[in-house]
Amino acid sequence: MVRQPPGHLCLRDDDLRPHARSRGRAVTVTVTNPDLQVGSLPAAYTYSCSWTPTALNGGPYCEGSTISLWAQTIAGAAYSWTGPNGFTSAVQNPTISGATAANSGTYSVTATVAGCTSTPGIRR
């Protein structure tokens, strides 16, 4: 926090970022004045994760083959894949054996680091 004249408050980006990650990107600022009166308000600030994983595959694939999906490594990330036919995976680079037409479509992956989940990287 940056000190300002009485009655003014200025927050640096780094003051808000950890709180935004831990609260799903929404930030509420709570201020206590010198008389110990407390007030809270939603901040006009949202934190967006600075990473979006790139979703890749080695296709096209023939029926019966193994589909391989990849996401680049993001330090400390937990991955979440979704796709057609109810596909889900928490593995960074999942595979789907015995490919069928039901496996064709759009796959997406998100990466979560320190409670902040990225926008999806998509592979059609």
Could you report the per-residue pLDDT of 6-29, keeping only the tens digit for each?
554 444 444 444 444 443 455 566
Buried b / exposed e across 4-41, counting CB within 10 Å, b at 16+?
Answer: eeeeeeeeeeeebbebbbeeebebebeeeeeeeeeeee
Residues 41 and 62 in one domain: no
pTM of structure: 0.64
Domain of 82? Answer: 55-123
Shared-domain flag, residues 38 and 89 = no
Same-domain pairing of 59 and 119 = yes
Q: Are 103 and 75 found together in one domain?
A: yes
Residue 3 belongs to some domain of the structure: no
Residue keyed to tokens 């300002």 = 4
What would the pLDDT profile of 78-109 be if each residue is shown by its tens digit? Answer: 999 999 999 999 999 999 999 999 999 999 99
Residue 5 counted as domain residue? no
- What residue spans of the chain are helical by DSSP H? 13-22
Averaged pLDDT of the chain: 77
Q: Which of 71, 69, 84 is nearest to 111 (CA)?
A: 71
Domains of the chain: total: 2
